[in-house]
Amino acid sequence: MAIFNKNTLAQVSGFDNPILAGELVWDQQTYWNLSFTSNGLPVDLTGATLDAQIVRRELSNIVDTRNGLTFDIADYSPTPAAIPLTITNVSAVAGTCTLVIDAGAWSLMSTDPELEINAQNPVGYSGRVKVSFPASGGTPADDMIIFLLFIVRSDGVIVL
């Protein structure tokens, strides 16, 4: 699993925002269990809308340093459509859910031209998980955002 340099992560999420970042192998099915808390207590997700999506990005100048991978990230051209990710196992009162990378997401990514074992700049995706809370009483509507960053590499077995 790749370790990302702090400055690279800050390009995507800023300095104080949460981010889920990792390296995926093409067609890998995986998930992350997410838990939302405030002051050590679960955040009640009742009435909240959860949405997650990623979009293809251009990665360049990749260097593996002592402090992790560094690279530049930019918009991909032509601009692709966002890819929705599945959110399941929502337990509103416990403040938990599962973010899934599944076959549906991979089928939307299958036409990517730069997924080669010897790619100088591997495929990259960034995006976000958005938890939208409606206004309630005197409390205005509020969104919680977790940024997403994935590098996708070929496993050298699957030829695309």
For residue 4, give both structure tokens: 């990302």
* Distance separating alpha carbons of residues 134 and 104, to the nearest angstrom: 29
Pick the CATH number of 6-153 from 1.20.1440.230, 3.30.420.40, 2.60.40.1930, 3.60.15.10: 2.60.40.1930
- The pLDDT score that the predictor gives to residue 92 is 96
- The pLDDT score that the predictor gives to residue 115 is 67
Map tokens 């030829």 to a residue.
159
Per-residue pLDDT of the chain (160 residues; tens, 9 = 90+): 466 666 666 666 666 778 888 888 878 889 999 999 999 999 999 999 999 999 988 888 877 777 777 788 889 888 888 989 999 999 999 999 999 988 677 765 655 656 666 777 778 889 999 999 999 889 899 999 999 988 887 776 654 5
The answer, as to whether pTM is greater than 0.95, is no
- Do you know the residue count of the chain? 160
Alpha carbon separation from 158 to 4, 27, 77, 115, 125 (Å, rounded): 25, 9, 25, 10, 20
> What ranges do the domains of the chain cover?
6-153
